Structure 1
Amino acid sequence: MSDSIQKYQNLLSVFCDQAEKYADEPYLWSKNKKHYQFLSWNDTYLRVKKLANYLKKIGIESDSKVMLISENRPEWQISDLAIMAADGISVPAYTTITSQDYEYLINHSETKVIIVSSKLLYSKVELALNKLKIERDVIIIDDFGPKKNNLITIHKWDDIQREPAEDDIDQISYQAKRKNRKDVACIIYTSGTSGFPKGVMLSHGSILHNCEGAFEILGPELNDIENVLFLSWLPLSHSYEHTLQFYNLYSGNQIYYAESLDKLLQNLSEVRPHLMSAVPRFYESLLQKISLQISKESKLKQKLFNDTIALGRKLYEYEKLSLGSKMYNKILSLLVRKKIGSRFGGRLVGLISGGAALNYDVGISLYSLGIPIYQGYGQTESGPVISVNYPKNNKIDTVGRLLPNTDVKISDESEILVKGENVMNGYFKDPDATKNAFSGEWLKTGDVGVFDKDDYLVITDRMKDIIVNSGGDNISPTKIETMLVMEPGINQAMVYGDGEKYLVAIIVIDTSFVNEMQPSKKIIDEALKRVNHQLSAIEKVKNYIIVDEEFTVENEMMTPSMKIKRYKVLEKYEDALRALYTI
């Protein structure tokens, strides 16, 4: 980023400036008794200040780790800022993972304090701490009374916020003057090929780099809007939504928190946001729902809908429209696009897609229906954004142009390499993995790509084994495969599901275990049930195919080091695996 827009040295300095500028104006909105209510910038500042002071009192020191486990809500942003203001490092964790996952994250990250929202999530944290046999302070957000546990010291959110403010102690402004752009702001865990998550250390500068770049790109589209509203629903533990929270802080936008995925469309019509982020799964589901509703309408309405997509696509792909088609297209904008747009509140400037590849047909169909969808690209290790499409510069079959002051080159192996302030400081406590993630100064993304003639980046393949499902979740197949082959009756396994809604698998039966008294399907069903019981929702294997041929070096399905050559296996079995998604 050029020095001219590197205005801030850390995220807290942004918060200080914005809180002073916007004062009593709304900042964070959440549902309370069926209505959205807001916390002002001043309200938020006071809550951050109280929590930061309390964290210092219970022992948070320089670079102490504080784990944050919560649904999207104002307390999430307040906690994240307070952890930084207490000179700690936040460790966001998904709400959907298992107690075993929390056990690993707490232990590996050396978490000292845990902030957890609900009774259900607390029960998983308690199980993890019991297994680790370690004492920890736990701050609970919701008002419930956990049973006494000698390992856990409970602190209640409401009690902390009821304490009188200490006017002479302001950790926020103190750390805002002290921290620099290279200091670690958070550690976000992402799956690794070994099956164990790796802790990505993102600096203040990494996140600010993304904020500054997004502000420069989106500014011209939003400058004339007095109050920009952002609807947040993707998990804040994901680097994508996490960084977007700070983009909205940086831009002075108001953040509304959706109640749940089930109520997202309702919240969209209530909030009428200008911006929202989503993953491809959401867009796939959205198009399916719209198409299903239209299929129940009259033949005329179905024709208008289909014509809207056809003409929108033709116009987007730079084919000329006849005078008659142009007039018809304008009529379709009034009859179809305006009606669909009203479901989203009628004032969307951008729906930003990230976390996984957006199917072109889905993207072009929604865009043709008047939904302003823009695909971006990145990964946790890059802050996360590397490139993005945006209004007036949108090519749906690409992941856009590079974010300002981001360098990308294509290696001799066609791998995308990235360099810039957005790139991580490294993996926490894993120097070997950090070293392997770089080629000199360049971060190896594990993705294969090219630049088109207009310098838009196009992703063509993945070099990594990591599965990214259609929801944008990173899943380690190695972890699941290792669990499967430990089950009686399973000799080998390969998990599949990149870009899909759920996982499926190829199973090679252990013939020495199967007999006529125990049919192979019954054995596998029981084994899969046991394994799935130990996995989080996104890791569960929903279906499988059984094959007779083993993966070997001789048939080129295994490397000499006995690793599965996934692309070779898929050459033979991908059609059968894809068929599982149509059952």
Structure 2
Amino acid sequence: MSGSIQKYQNLLSVFCDKAEKYGDAPYLWSKNNRHYQCLSWNDTYLQVKKLAKYLKKIGVESDSKVMLVSENRPEWQISDLAIMAADGISVPAYTTITSQDYEYLISHSETKVIIVSSELLYSKVELALKKLKIKRDVIIIDDFGPKKNNLITIHKWDEIHSKPADNDIDHISYQAKRKNRKDIACIIYTSGTSGFPKGVMLSHGSILHNCEGAFEILGPELNDIDNILFLSWLPLSHSYEHTLQFYNLYSGNQIYYAESLDKLLQNLGEVRPHLMSAVPRFYESLLQKISLQMSKEGKLKQKLFNDTIALGRKLYEYDELSLGSKMYNKILSLLVRKKIGNRFGGRLVGLISGGAALNYDVGISLYSLGIPIYQGYGQTESGPVISVNYPKNNKIDTVGRLLPNTDVKISDENEILVKGENVMNGYFKDPDATKNAFSGEWLKTGDVGVFDEDDYLVITDRMKDIIVNSGGDNISPTKIETMLVMEPGINQAMVYGDGEKYLVAIIVIDTSFVNEMQPSKKIIDEALKRVNRQLSAIEKVKNYIIVDEEFTIENEMMTPSMKIKRYKVLEKYEEALRALYST
């Protein structure tokens, strides 16, 4: 990674420049038949060129929406770039959502073409199109034979790319010269308080702003490293990983795609990356696994492990150790930190944490073990990055300093307001929500925060009713609560799970129904099963408590407009809810 920060007009101009610069050098890696296979920059460019031409052939035109439904793999970035080169707008969609969710996204986004990777995902998309009763072109990446469907015109990835290249117009270079930083690059859907996802319109400039800022921050740390490797595993439909793929393109880094979460630690050892991003849930699990492994290796190793964390924490928090502790700490670096680092390939320069709040004890423990973890902050509406901790200037209990060329101010209500090129162009087809998201030129984040004495941003609370689980997923509790109270036997419900691995709920039973239909637990269990069948994996409610007292205006658990005062409910029931995670 070398060179100065360069201002590009759009993401395609970055791709053209880097492909010309790096040519046959390796770029995108994936594992097939137990071996990693590579696409060079030139290979990638050719595939983008062919796919862009084909997208134009089947009707993609200026601002056409093309939905992308795929796991992380080289075809993801090829498709994303090809959609832009065809003058379209990409609509990334999670692979874990339901067919009903695809139905809404396809309809609301006015998707014209869908690119889908696997037979399983195709079946969900097919069901959505059947319910919508609309005809669409679908490009399938994997080689499977879908049944004939009058609503779907199938196009196969291999057939598109098996055709020889020609001398027709190069849509990549054409659009690279034409598009500007204000043009929409993608629409990323994120949960809203109404329960319906909102389409965040991010411009080329929004994503480039993040890339340029990250390059400026990480540049000095990575400047002396050739062939930087990035391991990608967070869903590329998440704005965090989506923007990071373009940061790696901008920086000329090689991208390896992890096989799955189950194989992530194995892939880390194989790839030996310099950089990787993750959400707090991964770091929590990582620390648990390391701790469990050490507990099985005898009392001495357990003591060395505990001492490593204790001394590392003391050095971080007090910036000093006694002479004896300094010597012992150096020994621990050889006996513990080096061995742990080698498990991750021994080359890690940075593990970037984002998408949700990182627990301080988890962060400081990993940092004390020699794992270079840096927490950042943002949201889809801001590209997504607003702030991040810098190498060598890391404050684990904060979300770092502002990304270059980003303005933040704290409102009279202590809400974090942000302004900059990274901020979205608005919500697609939702002018009212767009208007409500801003205070003048400033994006209202819905988060409460302060700047510390070193101008590091500290998040202290959140104002809006969106649950962010420990995996960084945004979940609308209102949607789930509405479904629950439609069930017989449930009068009121409140969903909980901020920073947790899964959701739980408070249930207020409908006494008039339950008294006649005992037992109440069986009724609620059956109701929960019915609701969960309609929800995606991250939305499912895993456990609950039943309470007798209704939420009312009189007991201050409801507003005059009959909205739940979540903080008031939690004052009374949070301890009981948290106990559900230990049962």
Pair in the same fold by TM > 0.5: yes
Aligned twin of 1:314: 314
CA displacement 1:424-481 (0-9 Å, x = unmatched): 0000000000000000000000000000000000000000100000000000000000
Aligned twin of 1:560: 560
Contact 1:493–1:506 at 8 Å: present in 2 too?
yes
Shift of the 2–49 alpha-carbon distance from structure 1 to 2, 3 Å rule, reads closer
Contact 1:280–1:353 at 8 Å: present in 2 too?
yes
Shift of the 2–313 alpha-carbon distance from structure 1 to 2, 3 Å rule, reads closer
The separation in 1 between residues aligned to 2:203 and 2:261, in whole angstroms, is 30
Greater alpha carbon shift after TM alignment, 515-524 vs 249-258: 515-524
Shift of the 135–517 alpha-carbon distance from structure 1 to 2, 3 Å rule, reads closer
Shift of the 213–2 alpha-carbon distance from structure 1 to 2, 3 Å rule, reads farther
The separation in 2 between residues aligned to 1:60 and 1:143, in whole angstroms, is 23
In structure 1, runs of 5+ residues without a counterpart are none
Shift of the 89–191 alpha-carbon distance from structure 1 to 2, 3 Å rule, reads same
What SS does the aligned partner of 1:312 have?
helix
Shift of the 17–275 alpha-carbon distance from structure 1 to 2, 3 Å rule, reads same
Instruction: Give 1:319 deviation, angstroms.
Output: 4.0
Contact 2:25–2:41 at 8 Å: present in 1 too?
yes
The separation in 1 between residues aligned to 2:568 and 2:348, in whole angstroms, is 44
The separation in 2 between residues aligned to 1:300 and 1:560, in whole angstroms, is 61
Instruction: Give 1:266 deviation, angstroms.
Output: 0.4
Instruction: Give 1:515 deviation, angstroms.
Output: 2.3
Contact 2:230–2:248 at 8 Å: present in 1 too?
yes
Aligned twin of 1:323: 323
Instruction: Give 1:25 deviation, angstroms.
Output: 0.1
Contact 1:114–1:138 at 8 Å: present in 2 too?
yes
Contact 1:506–1:546 at 8 Å: present in 2 too?
yes
Instruction: Give 1:37 deviation, angstroms.
Output: 1.0
The separation in 1 between residues aligned to 2:135 and 2:456, in whole angstroms, is 51
What SS does the aligned partner of 2:511 have?
coil
Contact 1:419–1:443 at 8 Å: present in 2 too?
yes
Instruction: Give 1:179 deviation, angstroms.
Output: 0.0
CA displacement 1:263-294 (0-9 Å, x = unmatched): 00000000000000000000000000111111
Contact 2:406–2:419 at 8 Å: present in 1 too?
yes
The separation in 2 between residues aligned to 1:431 and 1:198, in whole angstroms, is 11
Contact 1:287–1:366 at 8 Å: present in 2 too?
yes
Contact 1:137–1:154 at 8 Å: present in 2 too?
yes
Contact 1:182–1:205 at 8 Å: present in 2 too?
yes
Instruction: Give 1:6 deviation, angstroms.
Output: 5.2
Contact 2:24–2:42 at 8 Å: present in 1 too?
yes
What SS does the aligned partner of 2:267 have?
helix
Aligned twin of 1:152: 152
Q: Please tell me the root mean square deviation across aligned C-alpha atoms, in Å.
A: 1.5
Q: Aligned pair 1:72/2:47, yes or no? A: no
The separation in 1 between residues aligned to 2:210 and 2:55, in whole angstroms, is 28
What SS does the aligned partner of 1:91 have?
strand
Instruction: Give 1:298 deviation, angstroms.
Output: 1.1
Contact 2:115–2:140 at 8 Å: present in 1 too?
yes
Contact 1:470–1:501 at 8 Å: present in 2 too?
yes
What SS does the aligned partner of 2:512 have?
coil
What SS does the aligned partner of 2:545 have?
strand
Q: Aligned pair 1:102/2:99, yes or no? A: no
In structure 2, runs of 5+ residues without a counterpart are none
Instruction: Give 1:547 deviation, angstroms.
Output: 0.3
Contact 1:228–1:274 at 8 Å: present in 2 too?
yes
Instruction: Give 1:221 deviation, angstroms.
Output: 0.7
The separation in 2 between residues aligned to 1:193 and 1:247, in whole angstroms, is 30
What SS does the aligned partner of 1:142 have?
coil
Contact 2:2–2:223 at 8 Å: present in 1 too?
no
Aligned twin of 2:494: 494
CA displacement 1:17-39 (0-9 Å, x = unmatched): 00000000000000011011110
Instruction: Give 1:333 deviation, angstroms.
Output: 0.2
What SS does the aligned partner of 1:512 have?
helix
Contact 1:348–1:372 at 8 Å: present in 2 too?
yes
Instruction: Give 1:517 deviation, angstroms.
Output: 4.9
Contact 1:356–1:469 at 8 Å: present in 2 too?
yes
The separation in 2 between residues aligned to 1:572 and 1:470, in whole angstroms, is 23
Instruction: Give 1:189 deviation, angstroms.
Output: 0.1
The separation in 1 between residues aligned to 2:343 and 2:66, in whole angstroms, is 39
Shift of the 311–433 alpha-carbon distance from structure 1 to 2, 3 Å rule, reads same
What SS does the aligned partner of 1:181 have?
coil
Within a 5 Å distance, the mapping from 1:156-171 to structure 2 comes to 156-171=156-171
CA displacement 1:271-322 (0-9 Å, x = unmatched): 0000000000000000001111111121111110000000000001124211
What SS does the aligned partner of 1:500 have?
coil
Runs of 4+ in 1 over 2 A off after TM superposition: 1-6
- State the TM-score, normalized to the length of structure 1: 0.99
Instruction: Give 1:3 deviation, angstroms.
Output: 16
Aligned twin of 1:511: 511
Contact 2:5–2:215 at 8 Å: present in 1 too?
no
Instruction: Give 1:2 deviation, angstroms.
Output: 19
Shift of the 516–429 alpha-carbon distance from structure 1 to 2, 3 Å rule, reads closer
The separation in 1 between residues aligned to 2:214 and 2:286, in whole angstroms, is 26
Greater alpha carbon shift after TM alignment, 557-566 vs 509-518: 509-518
Instruction: Give 1:92 deviation, angstroms.
Output: 0.1
Number of aligned residue pairs: 583
Instruction: Give 1:516 deviation, angstroms.
Output: 6.0
What SS does the aligned partner of 1:305 have?
helix
CA displacement 1:478-520 (0-9 Å, x = unmatched): 0000000000000000000000000000000000001265211
Shift of the 453–338 alpha-carbon distance from structure 1 to 2, 3 Å rule, reads same
What SS does the aligned partner of 1:5 have?
coil
Contact 2:29–2:39 at 8 Å: present in 1 too?
yes
Instruction: Give 1:167 deviation, angstroms.
Output: 1.8
Instruction: Give 1:168 deviation, angstroms.
Output: 2.7
Shift of the 230–508 alpha-carbon distance from structure 1 to 2, 3 Å rule, reads same
Instruction: Give 1:237 deviation, angstroms.
Output: 0.1
CA displacement 1:198-220 (0-9 Å, x = unmatched): 00000000000000000000001
Aligned twin of 1:426: 426
Contact 1:2–1:405 at 8 Å: present in 2 too?
no
Aligned twin of 1:137: 137
- State the TM-score, normalized to the length of structure 2: 0.99
What SS does the aligned partner of 2:139 have?
strand
The separation in 1 between residues aligned to 2:442 and 2:514, in whole angstroms, is 50
Aligned twin of 1:250: 250
The separation in 1 between residues aligned to 2:6 and 2:443, in whole angstroms, is 22
Instruction: Give 1:5 deviation, angstroms.
Output: 4.2
The separation in 1 between residues aligned to 2:566 and 2:456, in whole angstroms, is 29
Instruction: Give 1:390 deviation, angstroms.
Output: 2.1
Contact 2:2–2:219 at 8 Å: present in 1 too?
no
